[in-house]
Amino acid sequence: MTSPHLDPERQSAAQQQLSGLRFTKGHGTGNDFVLVEDQRGDIELTPDHVRVLTDRHLGIGGDGLIRVVRSQELLEGRDLLEAAPDAEWFMDYRNGDGSIAEMCGNGVRVFVHYLAQRGLVQLAEGGAVTIGTRAGARTVRRTAHGYAIDMGPWSYIDEELALERAADSLVLAAGLQDPRPALSISMGNPHTVVALAEDMELDGLDLHQVPNVDPAPPHGTNVEFVVPAEPLVQEGVGRLRMRVHERGVGETQSCGTGACAAAAAVRAWAGDAGSDQWIVDVPGGAVGVEFVPGPDGAEHVVLSGPAELVFDGQMP
């Protein structure tokens, strides 16, 4: 079995380079992150640094890493700034394996909670702030129980195939006897949503291995396995249960963009029997997903849920 850790030489080199680094640990419904404040944009974090910091046995531990940086200090392309001209802060999200992902819904809530708790933005309940991400600007509103994010529009990754076959991929994961139809949906990052028949199938899945998606979206994909509730909709609110194998991470307790994609897929499969409001149950808790008309005329997805900061620390 390949080690999940860096080889000892790279591990110790990265650890020395990280000496003295201050960090905060946070999570949103159990999707956990190492946050690094870098107001001046002068902390360079390589994939090895991210792997060392997020390693659950040799490091702090986390599904991903979030660098908190002022947009104007971004060393990356100007296009990221043009996409979010009103955003003072930029969420630089990395997956635990060091790869970069376009978007992270739970991460946005934890990122904004960090800004509010540290006084870097003034955000009273009901107030809103716009932040920058690699998928563009996101507006986040503080609610009584956490944060609600306008995640922008959802879209089929392969619309033609999806509409033609109501499923554009076939997915096989350990524990399933045969491939299942699935829909691949973009939330700025790629997701493939697989409908299962019952809870027993969901609980019986072995998500230690990357599920086999055919055809696989070009840059890989996060894979959500869902069981729609029975009845699907109660008092106007749809409900589903999900587990997720995240691209660049593995199984996580929750995935915000994945919950949005899962609700979009189950709503598409349900047709008129669906709803615009959903509760998505994940191993780490539950998030709300709502489909609303966006200011740009497209249908937007609003993700709502809690955010916690757990502890602060410093690398030796």
Does 260 participate in catalysis according to the annotation?
A: no
Query: Hey, is 194 helix, strand or coil?
Result: strand
Could you say whether residue 256 binds ligand API (CB under 6 A)?
Answer: yes
Could you say whether residue 265 binds ligand API (CB under 6 A)?
Answer: no
> Of 305, 296, 299, 225, which is closest to residue 266 (Cα–Cα)?
225
In the set 65, 84, 104, 135, the catalytic residue is 104
Could you say whether residue 246 binds ligand API (CB under 6 A)?
Answer: yes
Binding mask 208-237 for ligand API (x = CB under 6 A): --------------x---------------
Contacting ligand API (CB under 6 A), which of 133, 189, 192, 275?
189
Taking the complex as a whole, the smallest distance from the CB of residue 20 to ligand API amounts, in Å, to: 28
Q: What does the block give as tokens for 218?
A: 């070009």
Q: Which residues inside 123-142 make contact with ligand API, applying CB under 6 A?
A: none
Cis peptide bond upstream of 295, omega within 30: no
Angle at 127 (CA atoms; ends 125, 128), nearest 5 degrees: 130
Does 104 participate in catalysis according to the annotation?
A: yes
In the set 87, 131, 242, 255, the catalytic residue is 255
CB atoms within 10 A of CB 293: 10
CB-based contact 71:25 (threshold 8 Å): no
Contacting ligand API (CB under 6 A), which of 59, 152, 217, 248?
248
Token look-up 């999806």 returns 162
To the nearest 10°, the Cα dihedral for 227, 145, 191, 246? -90
Q: What residues are designated binding site for substrate?
A: 31, 95, 105-106, 189, 222, 246-247, 256-257
Which chain residues interact with ligand API by CB under 6 A?
A: 31, 95, 101, 104-107, 189, 222, 246-249, 252, 255-258
